[in-house]
Structure 1
Amino acid sequence: METNNQLAESIITKIEQDGPISFRDYMDSCLYDHQFGYYFTAGNKIGVNGDFYTSCYLTPSFGAMVGKQLEEMWRLLGCKELTVVEYGAGTGMLCKDILAYLKNIPLLYKHLRYCIVEISPTMRTIAQGQLNDKVAWYNAIDAIKGEIDCVISNELLDNFPVHSVVKEHELLEVYVDYQGAFTKVLRPAPPKLKNYFKELLIDLPKGYQTEVNLVALQWINEISLKLKKGFLLTIDYGEQSRELYSNYRRSGSVRCYNKHRVNDDVFANIGEQDITAHVNFSALIHWGKKRGLDTCGITTQAKFLLALGFKEHLRRLYENQTRDVIQMAREEAYICRSLLMEMGEKYKVLIQSKNMDHVFLNGLTLQQKTNNSTP
């Protein structure tokens, strides 16, 4: 356990003054403390020299497929001026590849406004170095003037701070205490956490531990208030309730990433490692519907990419290069294996719409062939 840093000392001081803090507040401090939090300190977080990869780091074809889906949404919206909002753009890699694809559609690109909502000054500084004047930066979606049409996020919600709960004789919430070392203590869960499971019709078995992402519900609400007509595209690591609350998940889904190694010690490397939790897509669908967002469909990242022609685009990308053929073939195979097999099944793509009637989207084609029911 690492406590020899300023963030750890700050958390310890708070606990000594006010008593144990919820795991949600502990995770929030670890990631988003404005002075010492993981996403607010300098250093590489993503990529070879960072702690983890995101899909867009493996190939620009990933961003091109997201761009291709945005192009279809633009056409369904009537080929009008398009405002895209990307939440948590990180280093700007996805945005860069989306813009590169959309630039090939002159009418769309001419009237495109690309807005990034990014609260991390470190990430914003890195991204601004590689993005063009099509991009405007904001701290919150409410600050964006005028109508918005499409909201996208890639691997964002799994980093929202979560409440940790355990079901015993009643639902208990996990708190963090410090008695010479960080430790977890249990307290009765407040009504807001009990109501979360009640709304989703989930009855956890005794001894089951899991997480509740209330920040994701606030996120859905702020988007639904701003989005009058258009789409919300969410790509993230997670599952629907039937998988998330199955027996093999009874120990919870919180994981930490440090130098491309996975661990479950949330008290190690405080402020120096990423902390994530699986996204409950059933919750996004349920609360989205309550806020006026219809579900177009949910699919895996692999099926989403394949439906939009990922393999064909990737192949054309390599055909235009003049490097060693065998090496390029190996790279192409590695990218396909990573994005379509390893990450392809773990990551889900949820598309929701508002005031768009019943639209059909190409990115959901493969999923709709195998499952036509509304999730």
Structure 2
Amino acid sequence: MSLSDIIIKEILQKGPISFCDFMEIALYYPGLGYYTSSKEKIGKKGDFYTSPNLSSAFGEMIGRQLEEMWHILGEKEFTVVEMGAGTGLLSGDVYGYLKKNPELFKELDYCIVEKSPAMKEEQKKLLGENVKWYDSLKEIEGINGCIFSNELVDAFPVHQVLMEKELMEVLVDYDDGFFEILEPASGDLKDYFSELEVILPEGYRTEINLDAIKWIEDISSSLDKGFVITIDYGYPSYELYQEYRNRGTIMCYHEHMANETPYKHIGQQDITSHVNFSALARWGNKSGLDLCGFTDQSHFLMGLGIEGYLKKLQEDEPGNYIKKMLQVKTLLFEMGETFKILIQRKKTNSCELSGLKFPARWKI
């Protein structure tokens, strides 16, 4: 039975499902969902590229930021938890950098939380026994260190809503094809906008990522002391809900082509939505995470010394310099303003982080 057939059967038996439930099945249904199947997803043969695919410099700069955090936290036992490690490329680059500092490495406990069995196997082939794997963050208690993610939250299932006379939720139905219907939104969905002090105009369609709220609350619960780094594409509320985004931000990626049609290539294409960083900051603060700062990828990398990295590269690898310089240029410019970095802290007063040296034009 195909994934489409499974969804159709669910709808015919139980009635229309929320778009959030549709997206959950399409991405995470055991063995058949986009992220749980063995289909190649990232890189030339996949559907999209991520920053680690372009250059190992990205992982090295994150490693530098983690090293600085280790110093701030007193150079003691240091746990790094990567949430959703994809192919493991970024893990390898970050781990490789941290390994160069013998004092830090002696205190390092590198963990990956990964719920996709297919991804986990891919990571293990690349990383061997260097790291520990967990199915859930709740399995790791009392973390002193940093919990970080790269392009994770955008793939959480989201509720789609439309403002009419009142807030309505989008449901998915089926009759010779998938189609959408509306029903009054639940209290949780209405409360989301109230908490963020957002008023949507009539006719405005967008997404609500309730899973992101639960995720940041779980992170705060597991982190005893340290930092949280969230890297993804998205905006603060005031930018995310601009009038020209009145159709929402749902995007699908299939064989390096973008489309806005989640009801085709089910299980074979990625489905994403832009992250609301104001929501992560707001609910993070409510659960014990203070805001350190918010910037974009370009300023983050520059603050951590990407220019020095390039200079050293030119000296050490002159034959590869042009190729690698162009890869870094893509990180800085083509992807530099698209991707944002939110850093939060718990039980530490220091926010003097190199990655936040140059503030971006957005305020959280």
Q: Same fold (TM over 0.5)?
A: yes
Q: Distance in 2 between matches of 1:149 and 1:336?
A: 28
Are positions 1:149 and 2:145 aligned together? Answer: yes
Q: Distance in 2 between matches of 1:223 and 1:316?
A: 36
Q: What displacement does 1:145 show?
A: 4.7
Partner residue, 1:86: 82
Partner residue, 1:139: 135
Are positions 1:298 and 2:290 aligned together? Answer: no
Q: What displacement does 1:210 show?
A: 0.5
Partner residue, 2:206: 210
Secondary structure, counterpart of 1:366 in structure 2: coil
For residues 229-274 of structure 1, the C-alpha deviation after alignment (integer angstroms, 9 at most, x for no partner) is 1000000010000110001111100000011110001111000000
- Evaluate the alpha carbon distance shift between residue 190 and residue 41 of structure 1 in structure 2; reply closer, same or farther with a 3 A threshold: same
Q: Distance in 2 between matches of 1:318 and 1:96?
A: 23
Partner residue, 1:44: 40
Are positions 1:282 and 2:278 aligned together? Answer: yes
Are positions 1:336 and 2:332 aligned together? Answer: no
Cα contact 2:55–2:324 (8 A) shared by 1: no
Where does structure 1 lack aligned partners over 5 or more consecutive residues? none
For residues 195-219 of structure 1, the C-alpha deviation after alignment (integer angstroms, 9 at most, x for no partner) is 0000000000011010000000000
Q: Distance in 2 between matches of 1:43 and 1:36?
A: 9
Partner residue, 2:347: 355
Q: What displacement does 1:144 show?
A: 1.9
Partner residue, 2:91: 95
Are positions 1:244 and 2:240 aligned together? Answer: yes
Q: Distance in 2 between matches of 1:235 and 1:35?
A: 27
Cα contact 1:148–1:226 (8 A) shared by 2: no
Secondary structure, counterpart of 2:224 in structure 1: coil
Secondary structure, counterpart of 1:40 in structure 2: coil
Q: Distance in 2 between matches of 1:319 and 1:256?
A: 41
Q: Distance in 2 between matches of 1:22 and 1:13?
A: 15
Are positions 1:25 and 2:21 aligned together? Answer: yes
Q: Distance in 2 between matches of 1:292 and 1:242?
A: 23
Cα contact 1:112–1:134 (8 A) shared by 2: no
Q: Distance in 1 between matches of 2:178 and 2:236?
A: 32
Q: Distance in 2 between matches of 1:89 and 1:318?
A: 30
Cα contact 2:151–2:231 (8 A) shared by 1: yes
Are positions 1:69 and 2:65 aligned together? Answer: yes
For residues 326-362 of structure 1, the C-alpha deviation after alignment (integer angstroms, 9 at most, x for no partner) is xx42x24432332111211011000000011242111
Are positions 1:54 and 2:46 aligned together? Answer: no
TM-score by length of structure 2 reads 0.97
> Which among 190, 195, 206 is matched to residue 194 of structure 1?
190
Cα contact 1:23–1:164 (8 A) shared by 2: yes
Q: What displacement does 1:149 show?
A: 1.7
Q: Distance in 1 between matches of 2:181 and 2:114?
A: 33
Cα contact 1:113–1:134 (8 A) shared by 2: no
Q: Distance in 1 between matches of 2:199 and 2:336?
A: 30
Q: What displacement does 1:315 show?
A: 3.9
Secondary structure, counterpart of 2:181 in structure 1: strand
Q: Distance in 2 between matches of 1:74 and 1:132?
A: 24
- Evaluate the alpha carbon distance shift between residue 241 and residue 145 of structure 1 in structure 2; reply closer, same or farther with a 3 A threshold: closer
Cα contact 2:57–2:328 (8 A) shared by 1: no
Q: Distance in 2 between matches of 1:135 and 1:263?
A: 36
TM-score by length of structure 1 reads 0.94
Query: Please, what is the CA RMSD of the aligned residues?
Result: 1.5
Secondary structure, counterpart of 2:126 in structure 1: coil
Are positions 1:169 and 2:145 aligned together? Answer: no
Q: Distance in 1 between matches of 2:310 and 2:171?
A: 47
Partner residue, 1:116: 112
Letter in 2 for 1:337: K
Where does structure 2 lack aligned partners over 5 or more consecutive residues? none
Partner residue, 1:364: 356
Secondary structure, counterpart of 1:39 in structure 2: coil
Partner residue, 2:177: 181
Aligned ranges 1:225-236 → 2 under 5 Å:
225-236=221-232
Q: Distance in 2 between matches of 1:296 and 1:147?
A: 18
